[in-house]
């Protein structure tokens, strides 16, 4: 896996369908975390890391996918909404994998009562 520069990672959110997470977007924009890919010119596998969260994208059948999942730290959270990636996580980690639902923070501020908050 090769580290991507922020200018390479911007615009790669499409590799993480369904994940609208500010941590992922921060990593892709180069503000924090890191983004790695198998080949920056022809991405087949991409992993974005922001803190303990690792976002997997691309092809879970990629030859390097299993190694990328195995290299995830034991305390890390593997994130992906694609069923094929979820199956890859289960195949690699088996009964040691603990699935959890992660609630995404709503970014719509229109419902806040600004006067009350003040």
pLDDT in tens, 32-78: 999 999 999 999 999 999 999 999 999 999 999 999 999 988 788 88
Average pLDDT, the chain: 88
Residue 36: beta bridge partners? 3, 47
Residue 35: beta bridge partners? 48
Task: Give the chain's radius of gyration (CA, Å).
Answer: 16
Burial of 62 per CB tally in 10 Å (0-12, 13-18, 19+): middle
| Residue 75: predicted pLDDT | 82
Report residue 61 as tokens.
Answer: 């059948």
Measure Cα distances from 111 to 21, 58, 90, 108, 116 in Å: 20, 35, 39, 7, 12
The structure's pTM equals 0.82
Contacts 24+ apart (CB under 8 A), 79-84: 79/19, 79/21, 79/24, 79/53, 79/54, 79/55, 80/16, 80/19, 80/55, 80/56, 81/17, 81/18, 81/19, 82/17, 82/18, 84/60
| Residue 116: predicted pLDDT | 87
Query: Does pLDDT of 21 surpass 90?
Result: no
């Amino acid at each position: 896996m090769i580290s991507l520069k922020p200018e390479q990672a911007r615009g790669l959110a499409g590799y993480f369908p369904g994940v609208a997470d500010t941590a992922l977007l921060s990593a892709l924009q180069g503000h924090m975390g890191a983004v790695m890919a198998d080949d920056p010119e022809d991405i087949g596998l991409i992993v974005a890391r922001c803190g303990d969260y690792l976002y997997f994208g691309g092809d879970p059948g990629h030859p390097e996918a299993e190694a990328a999942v195995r290299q995830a730290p034991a305390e890390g959270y593997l994130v992906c909404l694609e069923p094929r990636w979820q199956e890859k996580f289960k195949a690699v980690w088996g009964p040691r994998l603990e699935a959890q639902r992660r609630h995404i923070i709503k970014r719509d501020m229109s419902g806040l009562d600004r006067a009350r908050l003040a």
